[in-house]
Chains A and B, each alone.
Chain A
Amino acid sequence: MQFKSQAVAKPYFIAAIGLFVGQILFGLILGLQYVIGDFLFPAIPFNVARMVHTNLLIVWLLFGFMGGAYYMIPEESETELFSPKLALLMFWIFLVAGALTIVGYLAVPYATLAELTGNNLLETMGREFLEQPLPTKLGIVIVALAFLFNITMTVLKGKKTAISIVLLIGLWGLAVFFLFSFYNPVNVVLDKFFWWWTVHLWVEGVWELILGSFLAFVLIKTTGVDREVIEKWLYVIVTLTLITGIIGTGHHYFWIGTPEYWQWWGSIFSALEPIPFFAMTVFAFNMVNRRRREHPNKAAVLWALGTGVMAFLGAGVWGFLHTLAPVNFYTHGTQITAAHGHMAFYGAYAMVNLMMISYAMPILNGRAANSNKSQVIEMWSFWLMTVAMVFITLFLTAAGILQVWLQRVSDAPLPFMVAQEKIAMFYWMREWAGVAFLIGLILYIVSFFVGGKEEKAA
């Protein structure tokens, strides 16, 4: 690696992968609870397992983003990290806080956890994805601020590239919009309105900037295409992201008590949201086709192409499927949403992190790329996980279409649980696809431990 301080990225990447494994294991528990309703009940009720599944996802993605930024920013700024010690300290704080939170979820009833952690001082818990106890939320803010300080100072003392500027805007946006998680008014409509300022403006806003800048960075490194060209593309993509995605928040304001005009604003702008993802796919393929060098790390290039395609399918196409208000009237809050959520998170954010890890880890280990044997296994894991996720999404989509028909459209709408039992076969198939995903993930981890003839040192 070019700068010694980039090494702080390594523990972040390892933690990210570890938490990813936990996320998938709990995903399998949840999938089984869908068909064997009392599986692990009352020890781990569905709501607890789901909280662990989604919170581990968020935390491992944040570990990946931070690790990626710590790796990338010194190289982009052409200077050592402002403070590697601070980065390592924050790593341990974040890891311990995250682990304690998960233990808390599993060890005591949620209401007890709320009582013990001071939810009465400031009621922020019990809202989807923002279930973390107050101390954890404050911990996230502290870690994020220290991280941002570290990264920003590094950029300020070094070179300022478009890639690092876009990344900084994305990361600062992430921190700023998280602050809405502390606002929980008693008026449930207002609560929901601003809840989306964290959730939507993260995943369909500022996180896409982080995604774009990571992708641009790895494409520059692996294809050798001129930085001017890549950075111009990056600006175009993030422009498209924010001019569609910000007003696109409106697709969450159709049925929660907000005025009907959001059905127009939300439908029109979110119908445009696939465009930046399509641009990202074209961008990745274009740059790889115009490559000026053959980078030995073929696996990283595969992840880069894959994240473009899968983000376009999962976030773009599957988002569009149910984003128009007349369609969403029937699909809102069904398995269609779950299908979209799974593929979008995997395609956009899991894969971009795996891309960065794939590119950076060999270099952090002192070689340009892993051995051919190791890369072959990694590419197998790519295909297994990706194809498994396609099937998870297809089965959930089938379940969702039937659910919408049985429960909402037909002349004699069935109660929720009756409809659920009729579509159980699709949940079983989703669970098996989930097992295939886990096998892919295990192969991915195996690829780190496979030797063979190494590529030359970086």
Chain B
Amino acid sequence: MRIRLPSLSARGSEAITAYLFLLPAALVLGLFGLFPLVFNAYISLFDWRIKHASFVGLANYGEIFGGAAPFFLLLASIALMTAGFALIRRKRKAPARVLGVLLLAGGAVALALDLPRIDLAGDSDMLRSFRVTVWYSLGTVPVQLVLGFLIAAALDGKFKGKQAFRVIYLVPYIVPTVATAAVFERLFSLRPESWANQMLALFGARPLQWLREYKGVFEMLFGPGLASGSDSPARYWVTWAGGPSLALVSIMIYNYWVYVGYYALIYANALAAVPRQLYEAASLDGAKPWTMLRRITLPLVSPSTYFLTILGIIGTFKSFNSIYVLRDPSTGGVTDPMSVYIFFQFFHDGRFGYAAALSVILLAIVVGLTVIQRRSMEKRVFFD
């Protein structure tokens, strides 16, 4: 039973008020958040070096990929792998799955042959920064997930001092990055008196170059045999086999320090939401702790795992402050992920057009990752 029907004009004025309230935020977000995406794509079509210059079409992209052929082969291999992956996940029938595996393998082979071509004909520094980004993701996200989960498990339940621990664990995440990175720049300096080298000395080990070390950690562990190679496509993949540089690993350690506590708090929240009855019921059925972890806890916190995974991966594509402070120019870019490489193309070399083209690619990768995240989120949440 309605007493008063809101008149059309009341509705209309409510909408107008709403738009007025949204206007300031929309102006700022539109001008400095969304318009740049279009403008950036426009800039990427010019040979823009500080000053607006001539239209060059897709030449900047051509320079990145070393021509049209490697670029289209790259697109094709990604499309093949996506299609193959989708087939494997969606279809239950064997022939479709076999086809999916074939497509996936075909795409992977095409990619494996194409990247060396791009490395030779295109921008090999861009590829290196991509490799750094991939290592950086692989080296940080899983470690942070595991350590964060362990600490979250220790934080679970009621006990004395819980709040104090939560507050302490968030300190590295809250305080300014430049200041804490400045500390790690000293902790992991190459000098024999640095903290990291003093720790090594305690165990009788020789000092390392840490943030100054451009060599890959696998290369350092397993000897330099990996690094030599002929001119075949294999030569490019050998640069991957060397692993992330020790300098990058030092930066990863800084990353753990910043993010493990944050991951732990997110996980602790998810753990607190797991209904206790599930554990009680399972233990009445004689389930072992390990089984309960695998069958109850991990599935129920999986939304957090996905959230943190994608946040962490996208984070490596966004990272700047810590690397700006921790990077050593003499290592030749082995610590620079794409975001930092693009920044220096723009900021030091003044190649606005080229840097814009690079950042269009960065955006495409981040959007692609977000789409993957959305998809897998839907699946997971409904499946488990």
Do A and B bind? no
* Chain B positions near chain A (C-beta within 8 angstroms): none
* Chain A positions near chain B (C-beta within 8 angstroms): none
